[in-house]
Amino acid sequence: MSILSEEVDPRLSEAIAANPYLLRYLEAWLADGNPLPEYFEQLSRDLKYRREVNVIYPVGDPIFIHVYSRPGGKRHRYEVIQPMSGISLGTLPDLVDELLIDLIDENLAFETPEEQENILRNLLREVVEVVPGLPIGEYSVAGKRSKRILVGPETYQALEYNLIMDKVRLGPLEPFIRDPYIEDISCDGVGPVFVEHKVFGSCETSIRFDSEDELNEFVKRLSERTGKPVTFRNPIVDAALPDGSRINIVYGSDVSLRGSNFTIRKFSDKPLSITQLINFGTLDARTAAYIWMLLENNMSVWFCGETASGKTTLLRAVCTFINPHYKVITIEDTPEVIVPHENWIREITRESEEAASIDLFDLLKAALRQRPNYIIVGEIRGREASVAFQAMQTGHPVLATFHAGSIEKLIQRLTGAPIEIPKAYIDVLNCVVLQSAVRVPKTGSLERRVLSVNEIVGYDPFEQRFSYTELFSWQPAEDLHEFRGEGSSYLLENKIAVMKGYSRTELKKIYRELDLRTAFLSKLVELNVYDYFDVWRAITQVYSLGLENAYEYLEAGERIWEEE
């Protein structure tokens, strides 16, 4: 069956016209009796609620992704459509490599991957010639001294793509890196690679490793790209890929019974905005407005939850609430946190010989001498927590993520070995936001939700118990966040109101301000202001114009989030 006889989305028709391999793939798909996939330039979160999925979308020229449902309760299939699809190049790439080696000048310099790509494309044109009419995958060799390979147009496109992916990019993993909807990439050993998709959940992909030798060779090359090569002596590596994504590699079968494996946590250079998270239902506008008030008034907030609960995503989103004129220091093992502030120091740990290593503890101690207005720690796990509490005691507010599923577990970890924070010091941490990935009853889908926002009030040494207030809580049945109401916030009434000079009879003002900030954020959502930096500019205007004036401008239709 020819796709040309189908009712085709005009955008899909354009994509087919520009990419013949897409046509080949779709014709094979239709020949098996399958329906024509829907074509999307961008995916909507509404697609996650569909029982049957059959979708194609682009992830950057020249790669397309086809996600479709499979019978028998199997996870969705994630098919990568690329210039090599349906073509067997055989030994042709090796032959091209041999010819390119003779042309490569050791003094040839490049500063960016794009420059390296251009150099390779130019060199490829010197050794490979396009001859119209040659069948796909076939080639011939011309010349005696200076050999040239003759190929057809589609074979050349596949050859060029293979060269760039192999020498410059991340080879078979590049489509996943380019796909903005992928959160995690997982290779468990020989067999298929799996991905965690933001819309379609867990998917089995068409990318696979068919032998241990192939997988081991790829893993070694991948680790070399991170600057931390794996060996049999050092088989486990935690590192960052060139785009900033976090990777864990386990090499060989000595410590992994199924052989080499790796897991990649994707990194995005543009964080999700707080308005996107409100729109997704992760938290509501009032919860976000409350966190805004805390950060504007230099409170310390920690974001806690289990692995993959969205802690770092929320931390990155709320950074836009910090005063734009503040000096911010971020401290991480792997650089993930992005803040939009101009006065931003970004520091990461360094693994080396023991005497030359720099860990979070060292960086936190150094940060205290750098006079920051805010310290942000990507993840607190061990003894660096004691320095974070010292920072908070000396007036340096700290934002951080921490693995704990409840306030009780958080306090147990902080006060127990090896951290051992004195119980009387815990209340210098003002607020704890608990988050989790949960099954939402209304939809049955797995979503990330802020479960509660908790104010740490103090510790009673006589009763030997901690006092805290759960100010916001998630109600699963309605999928709503409940606010305990006016008069219930310890931080707003006893700390922030005092800073603002309100008397006990004026406490209603602090809640009216919370209402106005809630309305401001809700208005941004209503106006579809979702870009991270647009939200940052809108909040910056609040610091410049004042909250009431900025909200009035929004109500009057002024686009205060746009660059002047």
Please, what's the b/e burial string for 201-215 (b: 16 or more CB within 10 A of its CB; e: otherwise)? eebbbbbebeeeeeb
Strand order in the sheet with 191-197: 38-39, 54-58, 64-68, 76-81, 201-209, 191-197, 182-187, 261-265, 246-250, 236-240
Scanning 227-318, the segments in alpha helix (DSSP H) are 274-280, 285-296, 311-318
**pLDDT attached to residue 349:** 84
What angle is formed at CA 250 by the lines to CA 229 and CA 381, rounded to 5 degrees?
95
Strand order in the sheet with 148-151: 128-130, 148-151, 139-142
The pLDDT-based confidence of 249 (bands split at 50, 70, 90) is very high
Residue with tokens 């911010």: 328
% of the chain at pLDDT higher than 70: 98
**pLDDT attached to residue 464:** 80
CB 183 within 8 A of CB 198: yes
Q: Determine the average pLDDT of the residues in 274-278.
A: 97
**pLDDT attached to residue 1:** 44
CB 196 within 8 A of CB 183: yes
Q: Determine the average pLDDT of the residues in 473-482.
A: 96
**pLDDT attached to residue 352:** 65
Query: How would you class 149 by CB atoms within 10 Å of its CB: exposed for 0-12, middle for 13-18, buried for 19 or more?
Result: buried
CB 139 within 8 A of CB 130: no
Q: Give the least confident one: 10-14, 210-214, 382-386, 518-522.
A: 382-386
CB 437 within 8 A of CB 446: yes
pLDDT tens for 120-145 read 999 999 999 999 989 988 899 887 77
The pLDDT-based confidence of 6 (bands split at 50, 70, 90) is low
% of the chain at pLDDT higher than 90: 73
Residue 196: pLDDT over 90: yes
**pLDDT attached to residue 513:** 97
Q: Which amino acid is at 310?
A: G
Q: Determine the average pLDDT of the residues in 502-524.
A: 96
Strand order in the sheet with 465-475: 344-348, 328-332, 374-380, 398-403, 301-305, 431-439, 446-460, 465-475, 480-483
Walk me through the domains of the chain, giving residue ranges and CATH numbers: 92-172 (no CATH), 212-266 (3.30.450.90), 274-487 (3.40.50.300)
Q: What's the full length of the chain, in residues? A: 564
Residue 2: pLDDT over 90: no
- Write the CB contacts of 459 (distance below 8 Å, at least 6 apart in sequence): 423, 424, 426, 427, 465, 466, 467
DSSP-assigned letters across all residues of 344-374: EEEEE-B--SGGG-B-HHHHHHHHTTS--SE
Residue 195, strand partner residues: 185, 203
Q: Average pLDDT over the chain, rounded to whole?
A: 92
The pLDDT-based confidence of 189 (bands split at 50, 70, 90) is very high
The pLDDT-based confidence of 172 (bands split at 50, 70, 90) is very high
> Residue 237 is inside which H or E element, if any?
strand 236-240
Report which of 316, 313, 360 is spatially closest to residue 341, judged by C-alpha positions: 316
pLDDT tens for 19-41 read 999 999 999 999 999 999 999 99
pLDDT tens for 435-464 read 999 999 988 888 999 999 999 999 888 888
Q: Determine the average pLDDT of the residues in 297-306.
A: 96
Distance CA 129, CA 125 (A): 7
Distance CA 186, CA 263 (A): 5
Query: How would you class 171 by CB atoms within 10 Å of its CB: exposed for 0-12, middle for 13-18, buried for 19 or more?
Result: middle
Question: How far is CA 458 from each of CA 124, 464, 490, rounded to the nearest angstrom?
Answer: 68, 11, 11
**pLDDT attached to residue 264:** 95
Distance CA 317, CA 325 (A): 18
What is the DSSP-derived secondary structure letter of residue 442? T
Residue 555: pLDDT over 90: yes
CB 82 within 8 A of CB 68: no
pLDDT tens for 357-367 read 888 888 998 99
* Neighbour tally for 405: CB within 10 Å: 15
Residue 7: pLDDT over 90: no
Stated pTM of the model: 0.84
Report CA 449 to chain centroid distance, whole Å: 17
Q: Determine the average pLDDT of the residues in 42-65.
A: 92
Distance CA 93, CA 61 (A): 21
Please, what's the b/e burial string for 6-23 (b: 16 or more CB within 10 A of its CB; e: otherwise)? eebbeebeebbeebebbe
Token duo for residue 386: 């004691």
- Write the CB contacts of 135 (distance below 8 Å, at least 6 apart in sequence): 152
Distance CA 341, CA 316 (A): 12
Token duo for residue 264: 């990649």
**pLDDT attached to residue 410:** 94
CB 289 within 8 A of CB 518: yes
CB 398 within 8 A of CB 376: yes
**pLDDT attached to residue 355:** 59
Report CA 446 to chain centroid distance, whole Å: 17
